[in-house]
Structures are given as structure tokens and as C-alpha cells.
Amino acid sequence: GAHGDGELRHYRWTPVAGVDQEYVEGEPKHLGGAYVRVRTLRAEHAPERPAHPRGAVTVVLSADERFAYSVGADPEEPVVQWSLADGSQKTRIDAPHRGGVAAMCMLPDGVGGKAVPSVRGTRGNPAAVAVERAAAAAKGGRLITAGRTDGNLCVWA
């Protein structure tokens, strides 16, 4: 939810070396391990600031775990695509919905591929929406966003 310090922290489960492995129905069950912080994502031009100062509403990972997509509690905040390799912001989807984004999810590989058409343009410019969607497609997976107040679902391909 949109509570907390607004930092985005990426953790990965790491098994502890030397711990005996237990198998349940033929599948390994990890007995020992820990979540290790891989990276903390922060504001692009102010590394001392959290990624979303008013808190994050939702975060999703691409299936290959190369990218994270997040949006903050402020309705004016864009959807941000983050590289988990280096923590940088790769692209932004400005004004994806009037009133902000309520939820996001990723489509599996091979599903979708074309943006759901929208007549509403960014600042009155429908071409800007097309450019943003093309940039999102070139740099990651297919993302679905749901608007808080506009009742729309958008597929970003």
C-alpha cells in the first residue's frame, strides 16, 4: 500500500551453503537461507530521496526479473520502469490514467503485444501516448495498468 518510507527494496532468497537438503514429494525444500537485499531503488536525480516519497501503491516484476515497474501514491506520479541490474530508471509512462493508477500486473511472454488504443492523449497529444507505449515495449514486458477513477485498463506493449 501507499504507506511506509517509499523506498523500493529488491530482495532475493539465497540458500545457505552446507545445509542438508530435504525433499518433499521429489521437490527440494529449502531449510536454510536468507533474503539478501540486492538493491534499493531511489529517485533518479536525488539518490537520497526514496523512489516514491508518498509511498508506493503497487510494484510488479517482469518474468525474467530484469525490470520492476512501480507507481506511487501521488495521482500525478508516472509508472516507472526500473532496471534491477543497475537500479536506474529506464522509462516513465507519464499520466497513464486520470486520477492515478490503482493496480498493475504483467502479462506472460507471448500474450498481447499491441497497446489497447486510447483516444486520450498526454496533454492533448495522442502521438505522445503512442511514443510512450512503443518505448515501454522496447524496454520490457507487457504491463497492464488499472485507473483509480477513469475505469480504464491499459495494456502497455
pLDDT tens sequence across 53-107: 888 888 998 877 788 899 988 888 889 999 888 888 888 888 889 888 999 988 7
Enter the C-alpha cell of residue 99.
486520477
List, in sequence order, every residue forming a beta bridge with 13; answer none if it has no partner: 35
pLDDT of the residue at 41: 81
Instruction: Calculate mean pLDDT across residues 40-61.
Output: 83
Q: How confident is the model at residue 126 (pLDDT cuts 50, 70, 90)?
A: low
For residue 16 the three cell numbers come to: 545457505
What is the average pLDDT across 9-37?
A: 71
Q: For residue 105, which of 152, 156, 66 has the smallest C-alpha distance? A: 156
Question: Cell numbers 514429494 label which residue?
Answer: 25
Could you tell me whether strands 8-15 and 89-93 are parallel, antiparallel, or unpaired per DSSP bridges?
unpaired
Question: How many CB atoms are located within 10 Å of the residue 143 CB?
Answer: 25
Q: What is the pLDDT of residue 46?
A: 79
Say what the pLDDT of residue 64 is: 76
| Entry pTM | 0.65
Is 118 a residue whose pLDDT tops 60? Answer: no
Q: What is the DSSP string of the chain?
A: ---S---EEEEEEEEPTTPPPEEETTEEE--SEEEEEEEEEB-SS-TTSBSSTT-EEEEEE-TTSSEEEEEESSTTPPEEEEETTT--EEEEE-S-STT-EEEEEEPPTTS--SPPP-SPPBTTBHHHHHHHHHHHHHTS--EEEEESSS--EEEE-
The pLDDT of residue 79: 92
Q: Cα separation of 133 and 62, whole Å? A: 16
pLDDT beyond 50 at 135? yes
What pLDDT, on the 0 to 100 scale, is given for residue 128? 67
